[in-house]
């Protein structure tokens, strides 16, 4: 496990009354939009999505710079990320989107791709998220 895998940075902020938004909770059974309560908290979480070798960290930066980030944003996925150098031995987990075999690269990883996931949630689901964070 790389030095960043064990670190999850979570920020919870109370929304103002002017910020009228629905809970963005995604249920495993029901999918997105499963909660129709108003959101009262903004939750931001940084976590490691994958480990990348030098070549694939450059490919990832290029893809995001060329508009993949905007495309992901437009369909509801967050695209803010950081590539952080790692020291522990990990294997590159990059999947080439145009590959037919869907096998990961497998070379020695040199970077962790840290992703920011942000969502607005109701009080009940904010509490659920907190319990999940405490358990991990």
Residue 1 is assigned to a structural domain of this protein: no
pLDDT at 21: 87
Residue 90 is assigned to a structural domain of this protein: yes
Output the furthest CA–CA distance in the chain (Å, rounded): 49
pLDDT at 75: 47
Beta-carbon contacts of residue 106 (< 8 Å; ≥ 6 apart): 91, 92
Its domain, for residue 111, covers 9-135
pLDDT at 74: 53
pLDDT digits (tens, 9 = 90+) for 84-131: 999 988 999 998 777 777 789 999 999 999 888 888 899 998 887 776
Residue 21 is assigned to a structural domain of this protein: yes
Which position has the higher pLDDT, 51 or 118?
A: 51
Q: Is 53 a residue whose pLDDT tops 90?
A: yes
Residue 40 is assigned to a structural domain of this protein: yes
pLDDT at 32: 62
Q: Alpha-carbon torsion 97, 91, 79, 68, what sign?
A: negative
Strand 31-32 relative to strand 26-27, pairing: antiparallel
pLDDT at 86: 94
pLDDT at 68: 52
pLDDT at 8: 79
Q: How many structural domains is the chain composed of?
A: 1
Residue 42 is assigned to a structural domain of this protein: yes
Residue 80 is assigned to a structural domain of this protein: yes
Distance CA 99, CA 1 (A): 27
pLDDT digits (tens, 9 = 90+) for 19-50: 888 888 877 776 666 788 999 999 888 889 99
Residue 3 is assigned to a structural domain of this protein: no
Residue 33 is assigned to a structural domain of this protein: yes
């Amino acid at each position: 496990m790389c030095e960043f895998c064990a670190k999850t940075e979570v920020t919870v902020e109370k929304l103002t009354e002017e910020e009228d938004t629905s809970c963005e909770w995604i249920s495993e059974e029901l999918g997105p939009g499963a909660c129709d309560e108003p959101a009262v908290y903004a939750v931001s979480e940084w976590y490691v999505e994958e480990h990348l070798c030098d070549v694939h960290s450059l490919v990832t930066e290029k893809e995001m710079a060329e508009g993949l980030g905007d495309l992901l944003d437009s369909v509801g996925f967050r695209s803010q990320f950081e590539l952080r150098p790692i020291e522990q031995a990990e294997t590159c987990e990059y999947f080439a989107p145009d590959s037919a075999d869907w096998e990961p690269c497998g070379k020695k990883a040199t970077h962790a791709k840290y992703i920011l996931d942000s969502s607005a949630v109701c009080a009940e689901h904010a509490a659920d998220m907190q319990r999940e964070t405490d358990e991990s």
